[in-house]
Amino acid sequence: MKKIVLIISLLAFSYGFSQSLPINFEGDVTTSDFVDFDGGTATVIANPLISGINTSTSVASIVRDGGAIYAGSKIILTNNLDFSVLTKLSMKVYTTAPAGTTVKFKLEGTGASVEVDAFTTVSGTWETLEWIFAGTPNDLNEIVFMFDFGNLGDGSANSTFYFDDIEQVAGPPAPTLATLPIDFESTVVSSDFLNFSGATASVVPNPQVNGINTSSTVCQIVRDGGQFWAGSKLFLADNLDFNTLWHISMKIYTSAPINTRMKLELEGPNGTTSLDYLTTVSGAWETISWNFDGLPNEYNRLNFLFDFGNVGDGSAESTFLFDDIEQIAGPARPNPIPASLPIDFESSVVTSDFSDVFGAITSVIPNPQVDSDNSSATVGQFLRSGGQPWAQSKLVLTEFMDYSTLSSISMKVYTEAPVGTLLKFKVESTASGAANERDVFTTVSGAWETYSWDFTGDPPVYNVLTLMLGYATPNDASPNATFLFDDIDQTLPVLGIGNNQISQLEGVYAYPNPAQSTLTIRSEYENIEQINLFDMLGKQVSVFYPNSPNMTIDVAHLSKGIYIAKVSTPAGVGSIKLSIE
C-alpha cells in the first residue's frame, strides 16, 4: 500500500488543485480536484438528502467498487494543516451502510502521514463525525478519505458515502511531548494524553501504595463503552532508540482477571506495531515488559490499549493503573530457524521461528482442542490482535518448494469463526521477492478440518509460508479471531475451496452461483456420494446422497446469504461457497 500511496501522491501534484479549509462543495471544490485511488471514485453532486443537519445544495460523494480494501480519494490543500490551536477535523457524513462503519481520515504531506478512525453511529441520515489530530506536526496538506476501510466495495448503496462541510474545530489541547523514563511525579499530566474510542487517561494520586509501587502519583486509564480497541496515546519528544534497550517496561495494577490482554502499540511515520502481554496477577502491582528487539528507531508515540478485545464498562475491572514507563535491557529475540516440511510442531518449530507482521501473533502451544481429528500434543496458534485486515505470520523454509508432483499445501485448522471465514495462504521467495496466494473458506466451526491450497503449475521459487487466517475479519483477539493449525505438508492435488467451484482439476462445480430457486452441483469425473449443506453459523441445513455425477438442489426455501456445500466423492472431500439470493 505504501508504494501505491506514493504513486498517488505524485499524481496529485499533476492532477489535483490545491484548496483550503473549510470546504463546503458549494463552488470551492469540484470533481476534478479529487485524486481517486484503488477503487474509489469521488464526485461533487447535488445533495441527495436535504434534511436534518445538512440543507446544503451540493455535497461530495465517494463510491467504492472493487479495487482494494483501502480504496478512496484525496484532496490537496494549499497550506499545511496547523493543529496547534484547532486540534480536530469535523465533517458531515451520510450513508446507508450499517452504523459502526469505519471512516478513516489520513493526512499526508512532506512529513510522516497520520491516520485516525471515526465510526458512523447512524444509517440513512446525516451526522457529524470528528477526528482528533492533537499533537500532529504542521507538515501535512493532503486529506485522504477512506470510507468503510478494511472492506472491499461493491458499488452498492452500502458502498456509497456522501460528505460535506470539512473544517477544523476546537478540540483537546495539544500535548506536551514526554521523554522516557516517565514516573508521573512531575512532568507528564492528564492533558498530555490523547484519549480515543472510550478510554480516559488521567494522572492521579496512587490509590494502591503497596507492594512494588509506593509512588505518590500514577496514571489511570478507565475504559467505559466505545470500541474494543479503546485506549490512550502519549506523544514522545524523541524517537525510541532500540539499539541497546529494546524492552519497554512498566508497572501495572488492575483487578481485572488474570490473562487480561495488555497491548502496547508503538506509532511512527510508517504506521504502528504492537505487542501483547497477558497479566499474571489480579489485585496487585506487577512489572511487565514488551520486547521490541529488532525494530527501527522510528516510533515516537505510545498507545496504551489495556484489556484489548473487550469493551469496557467503567467498573474496577475496566480500570488500569500504570507507572514507571522506561526502556530496559533484556534478552534479544531468538533468530528464526528455517523449517522443513512436513511440520507437526512436536519438536522442530517453535514460536520464535515465526515472524509476525500487521497485527498477527503466532505461537506454538499445547493443543487446547485434542480430539479424534487432531490428537497432537502441540499446535500452532494464529491470533489476530489489532493491526491490519491482512495480518500475517511468516515461516521460512530450508528449501524451495517443488510443486511438480506435490502441488498442494494441506493444513489442519481449528477455529470458532463462522463457516465461510477466509483462510488465505501465501507463498513467497526470499531470493526474488516473488509471491503467490490461494484462498479457501472454512467449512466447519468449532472443529478441526483439513484444508488444501492448490499451487499446481507454480515454479519452484518459493521458500516462505505466509499465513493470513481469517483475512479481513475483525482483529479483536476473540475466539473468532483465533486459529489453531497443525500438520503443514505438501500433498497431491485434492479438492480445495474456491469461490464457485471446488477444483478445476477435479471438475467439480456449482451453477448458477449465485442461485435463486435451484442450483446444480456437478462432478465431471466421479459420482457425488454425499453433499452436506451448512449455513454461515456452521449449522447443517440439509444432507443429500445423490450417488450420481449431478445433484440439483431446491434452494428457494433457504434464507438469502452464504452457504457452504461440503461435497464427498471417491476422489476426496472439498467444499463450495454458495450464494443464495
Mean pLDDT by 10-residue block, N- to C-terminus, for the chain (581 residues)?
38 49 93 95 97 97 93 95 93 95 93 86 96 89 94 93 97 91 95 92 98 98 94 95 97 98 92 95 98 95 97 97 97 94 94 96 98 96 94 97 90 94 95 91 92 90 97 94 97 51 57 86 85 75 89 88 82 79 83
The verdict on residue 295 lying in a domain is: yes
Residues paired with residue 519 on neighbouring β-strands, in sequence order: 553
Q: 511 and 417, same structural domain?
A: no
Length of the chain: 581
Could you please report the per-residue DSSP string of 268-319?
Answer: ETTEEEEEEEE-S-SSEEEEEEEE-TT--S---EEEEEETTTS-EESSGGGE
- Provide the CATH number for the domain around residue 136: 2.60.120.430
The per-residue pLDDT for 8 is 38
**Which domain range does residue 417 map to?**
351-491
The per-residue pLDDT for 270 is 80
Query: On the CB side of 347, how many CA atoms lie within 13 Å of its CA?
Result: 3
In sequence order, what E strands does 83-191 have? 88-94, 102-109, 114-119, 127-132, 140-147, 160-169
- The 3-state DSSP composition of the chain as helix, strand, coil percent (nearest 5) reads 5, 50, 45
- Please state whether beta strands 34-37 and 72-76 pair in parallel, antiparallel, or not at all (unpaired): antiparallel
Examine the fold and report which residue of 139, 169, 199 is the final residue of a domain before the chain moves on: 169
The verdict on residue 80 lying in a domain is: yes
Backbone phi and psi for residue 304, each to the nearest 5 degrees, phi listed first: -100, 110
> Number of structural domains, the chain?
4
3 state DSSP class of 499: coil
The verdict on residue 181 lying in a domain is: no
Q: Exposure pattern of 288-313 as b/e (b: 16+ CB <10 Å)? A: bbbbbeeeeebbbbbbbbbbbbbbbe
Rounded Cα–Cα distance for residues 403 and 76 (Å): 48
Q: 25 and 155, same structural domain?
A: yes
Q: 511 and 455, same structural domain?
A: no
- Provide the CATH number for the domain around residue 541: 2.60.40.1220
Q: 309 and 373, same structural domain?
A: no
Q: 31 and 142, same structural domain?
A: yes
Evaluate whether 534 touches 578 at the Cβ level (below 8 Å).
no
Q: How far is CA 559 from CA 419, 500, 578, in A?
A: 16, 19, 12
Cis omega before residue 22 (within 30°)? yes
> Could you tell me the sign of the dihedral formed by the alpha carbons of 558, 560, 561, 562, in that order?
positive
Write out the three cell numbers for 391. 495480518
Q: 471 and 385, same structural domain?
A: yes
Rounded Cα–Cα distance for residues 59 and 23 (Å): 10
Examine the fold and report which residue of 138, 169, 200 is the final residue of a domain before the chain moves on: 169
Q: 158 and 9, same structural domain?
A: yes
Examine the fold and report which residue of 491, 525, 551 is the final residue of a domain before the chain moves on: 491
Q: 476 and 511, same structural domain?
A: no
Write out the three cell numbers for 80. 499545511
The verdict on residue 179 lying in a domain is: no
> Could you tell me the sign of the dihedral formed by the alpha carbons of 202, 208, 209, 212, in that order?
negative
Q: 131 and 48, same structural domain?
A: yes
**One-letter-per-residue 3-state SS of 228-264:** CCCEEEEEECCCCCCCCCCEEEEEEEECCCCCCEEEE
The verdict on residue 512 lying in a domain is: yes
Order of strands, edge to edge, in the sheet holding 261-268? 193-196, 231-235, 301-306, 261-268, 271-278
Q: 562 and 520, same structural domain?
A: yes
Q: 507 and 487, same structural domain?
A: no
What predicted TM-score, i.e. pTM, was given to this entire model?
A: 0.75
Which residues does 134 contact at the CB level (< 8 Å), separation at least 6?
83, 87, 88, 171, 172, 173, 174, 175, 194
Going by C-alpha positions, the residue among 251, 230, 226, 223 that lies closest to residue 316 is 223
Radius of gyration of the CA atoms of the chain, in A? 26
Rounded Cα–Cα distance for residues 71 and 62 (Å): 10
The verdict on residue 260 lying in a domain is: yes
Q: 480 and 369, same structural domain?
A: yes
The verdict on residue 245 lying in a domain is: yes
Rounded Cα–Cα distance for residues 438 and 440 (Å): 7
The per-residue pLDDT for 400 is 95
Rounded Cα–Cα distance for residues 393 and 387 (Å): 12
The verdict on residue 176 lying in a domain is: no
3 state DSSP class of 2: helix
Write out the three cell numbers for 1. 500500500
Rounded Cα–Cα distance for residues 173 and 132 (Å): 10
Phi-psi region of 48 (alpha: psi -120 to 50; beta: other; left: phi over 0): alpha
Looking at residue 233, its amino acid is K
Backbone phi and psi for residue 479, each to the nearest 5 degrees, phi listed first: -55, -30
CA angle 130, 132, 137 (to 5 degrees): 140
